[in-house]
Structure 1
Amino acid sequence: MIVELSSLKAHRERSCTRPVWLVAHSNVAVKNIAEKLSNVEFFAFRLLVSKEFEDWHEDLYERVQANIIRSDTFPETALEAERKLGDANVVLCTLSMLSNHRMRVFSRIRRMETVIVDEASQIEIGDYVPLLHDFGSALAKLVFIGDDKQYRMPHVIGRFISEHVYKGRLRTVHNVNDPLACRFIDVYKGQEKRSGLSWEAGDPNEEEANAVVRIAQRYHKEGKSYRVISPYDAFRSQAEQKLKDACLPWEDVCFNVDSFQGNEADHIVVCLVRTEKVGFARDLRRSNVMLSRCKRSMVICTSRRFTNGVGKDTLAGKLVEGLGKKAWVDWTDFLNGRW
């Protein structure tokens, strides 16, 4: 995000009249950028959002609600579009939004001459076709920003990521050298449960979601900054509700992996959720993002049966193998606070 702001500032210093279009692959990534922009005084921006996504995730947009233009309110005329954009010199949207013919009225009055693509390394080549095909003649500058191989971690995690993702080429000067900066909680009775097109923790007793509450209680008591991330949005909702029921801070605490791209926290709780099939964990790039968010420590909730079985060859499974038995916390010990 610092790089994006630097690019925007440099552009503004060179030209106060030409707008910037800032796009990303996911709605949440665009929303995260918008929130950062809301803290920068000299940027006036508008965020183009699909009606369907905003309806479903209205709570995500509380901080930038005044800057949103929903797709069901996209205007027909340039005059109406000018009124909606106001003094905006930055327009944000997803890459897929560029395929919506109704947004063209905005690009006519805020020409798409300068486009900054955030998290560009996460986007498939074919997804750039609408941008290049429909707006290529107007483009003067196209800036790609992103690196799926983030590197902010304690030594024990950083060495593993370097070996398995960077082919051992990276070194770190991180000041956390604790061999137990990464722990695994063995939720051995946990079961995956389908929820629509996603997955959450199932019976018995939803152990993985309950583990999140216990970890959060400890971190909250110790005044630690933490976030909970999972590959599955259904589990994110489940964990969020559990925190709320336990009267713990829950807003901006639980995220799915894709929405947490580009973010970090001192302490990260990762919940793999799956127990029978690999699912998300087969994606090396996204798994790397999932396991590289922490600055001080990471706790991974899963089961030995999964990481020693079907999940053995995933990045998370290899991390388990690399750290060995000492990194595991037995569920009974965990319940008794011995971790």
Structure 2
Amino acid sequence: MWLMAQSNVAVKNIAEKLAETGFFDFKLLVSLDFHFDWHEHLYHKIERNVIRSDDFSTLGRRLGGCKIILCTLAMLCHPNLGTSGVLQLAPIHTVILDEASQIEVGDYLPLLSKFGRQLRKLVFIGDDKQLAPFGQDDIGNLRSVFELDHLQTNVVFLDTQYRMPTPLGDFLSQHVYDDQLLSVHAIPARKSCRFVDIHHGRERKLGNSWVNTEEVQAVIHIARKYAAAGKSYRIITPYDAQRSTIERSLKEASIPWEDKCFNVDSFQGNEADHIILSVVRSDKVGFLRNLRRSNVMLSRCKRSMMICTNRHFLEGVASETLLGKLADEWTTAGQEWLNWRDILASRF
């Protein structure tokens, strides 16, 4: 069986989920460039299962009877794969594609053209309320398999979420999933999601991206407390300039920084007990206009989420965004905003 996704990070996430359940009878194929040059630290937990593309000549021997292969969709085109012997030892009969809502249907052509005659089953797993195929904002006719009308009769909707605290799951069910998503979770309290008013925070253009230095400072304070308490947390933000600024600031503050800070697009499929969110924008709506990306951003936490933003912004120009509606619902229900003094005094 072959388990695939479009991105290396998504495939890595599948491998880690398997490892967390105690299942290690799999091999993960990864390109040398991605593993060594950029992201080697991401694979520490599953290093013994990883086979890099420069080692594909030993793949047949190292497979050792393993029948579960993980890789990206693009890996099927790697020139060394065909000569490695793996396609004879583990034929591509059954393929499960994760995060399939992000994959444009044309990207399946290499898989179908090279292995179509031997394929017996294709399973597509995804959420068409989350990230769309890359470029759909600019090229409107890009589609995933979930957006093809003739395939709708074969779609099975998984109607129960177990990740998020109940209030957050119920909110997203109402505003994104037409009240069809049920929540089963041990945390029923709204205080599992808190808003922090960084009222002096201002968005600033940096290259083609955006930063908000006041939010960076708040995030660092929260991260320092979480790290000292030994909490499992991740930091996400819509803008890569903000992500790199936060990551650099964590390192300078001697706070664990590797595999901690992500932009929203790279964090789909990921989760953490505690999420720290830096919204960045304080003037223009920008990223928040996109419902699918906002849904990804707000659905990553397992226990709690701290949202660093500007209250005036969310109650003003951003009030009709998904995040603005969340803030309004929480405030209406009596959930108080935190402020800078609360953060400095660790009252959270």
Q: What TM-score bracket applies, with the shorter chain setting the length? A: 0.7 to 0.9
The Cα shift of 1:87 comes to 5.0
* Alignment correspondent of 1:293: 300
Q: Deviations over 1:90-136 (max 9, x none)?
A: 33221233344554445643421121212233433333333223322
- Residues 128, 321 of structure 1: alpha-carbon distance in 2 compared, 3 angstrom cutoff: farther
* Alignment correspondent of 1:3: none
Is structure 2 residue 215 aligned with structure 1 residue 208?
A: yes
Aligned runs of 1:288-327 on 2, under 5 Å? Answer: 288-324=295-331, 326-327=335-336
**Residue 270 of structure 2: SS of its match in structure 1?**
coil
How many angstroms apart in 1 are the aligned matches of 2:163 and 2:34?
35
Q: 1:186 aligns with which of 178, 187, 197?
A: 197
The Cα shift of 1:182 comes to 1.7
**Residue 190 of structure 2: SS of its match in structure 1?**
coil
Q: Is the CA contact (8 Å cut-off) linking 2:222 and 2:343 kept in structure 1?
A: no
Is structure 2 residue 70 aligned with structure 1 residue 92?
A: yes
What's the Cα RMSD here? Answer: 3.2
Q: 1:128 aligns with which of 90, 105, 108?
A: 108
How many angstroms apart in 1 are the aligned matches of 2:289 and 2:31?
30
The Cα shift of 1:49 comes to 2.0
Identity of counterpart residues, as a percentage?
Answer: 54
Q: Is the CA contact (8 Å cut-off) linking 1:232 and 1:256 kept in structure 2?
A: yes
The Cα shift of 1:88 comes to 4.5
- The one-letter code sitting in structure 2 at the alignment partner of 1:82 is G
Aligned runs of 1:160-179 on 2, under 5 Å? Answer: 160-179=171-190
How many angstroms apart in 2 are the aligned matches of 1:298 and 1:196?
29
Is structure 2 residue 92 aligned with structure 1 residue 112?
A: yes
- The one-letter code sitting in structure 2 at the alignment partner of 1:331 is W
Q: 1:257 aligns with which of 256, 264, 268?
A: 264
How many angstroms apart in 1 are the aligned matches of 2:275 and 2:208?
25
Q: Deviations over 1:25-76 (max 9, x none)?
A: 21111112233445646514141326256412232233444544445x376x
How many angstroms apart in 1 are the aligned matches of 2:28 and 2:173?
39
* Contiguous gaps of at least 5 residues in structure 2: 130-160
How many angstroms apart in 2 are the aligned matches of 1:191 and 1:322?
24
TM-score (norm 1): 0.77
Equivalenced residue count is 312
Per mean C-alpha deviation after superposition, the further-off stretch among 312-321 and 57-66 is 57-66
Q: Is the CA contact (8 Å cut-off) linking 1:270 and 1:299 kept in structure 2?
A: yes
Q: 2:170 aligns with which of 136, 159, 166?
A: 159
**Residue 324 of structure 1: SS of its match in structure 2?**
helix
* Contiguous gaps of at least 5 residues in structure 1: 1-19
How many angstroms apart in 2 are the aligned matches of 1:305 and 1:117?
42
Q: Is the CA contact (8 Å cut-off) linking 1:192 and 1:273 kept in structure 2?
A: yes
Q: Deviations over 1:290-314 (max 9, x none)?
A: 2112233211111124323443332
How many angstroms apart in 2 are the aligned matches of 1:101 and 1:238?
37
TM-score (norm 2): 0.75
Q: Is the CA contact (8 Å cut-off) linking 2:51 and 2:59 kept in structure 1?
A: no
